[in-house]
Amino acid sequence: MIEQIIEFSGNHMLLVSALIIAILMLIQNLMAGNKGNITPVEATEMINHDDAVIIDVRPAADFSKGHIINAINIPASNLLTQINQVEKYKNKKVILSCRSGAQSAVACKQLGKQGFENVYNLKGGILNWQSENLPVTTKK
């Protein structure tokens, strides 16, 4: 069995190299991606104890249908162009939320590249927040 793997690797060096690179990139992405994911309960603790700021990156229409209390709405498509609205929170813990957690994960990476060190993604987004029966509001 080992001899066959060695022979296959020798005959298909490019394919094996691509596989190894893909695996390493996947591991790196998984490690970096999970580092800043927090549950709704963890987010609540950060809001209550660390005065964390919530930024909802959903479109304004979705935000107005219901969002976390005191959340700031900056749609993901405008995040970098409206970075000046977020700069004042650079030294605070910032929690990003969206519908399911996917857009806010990308937004976390964008803010990280802008020098934000305490950025967290609400795992599962507002859907997970609501499934935990945590409060939402329609007030701006």
The catalytic residues are 98
The answer to whether residues 58 and 103 touch, using CB atoms and an 8 Å cutoff, is yes
Exposure letters 48-58 (e unless 16+ CB within 10 A, then b): eeeebbbbbbb
Angle between helices 2-11 and 13-35 (to 10 degrees): 100
The answer to whether residues 112 and 43 touch, using CB atoms and an 8 Å cutoff, is no
The answer to whether residues 120 and 93 touch, using CB atoms and an 8 Å cutoff, is yes
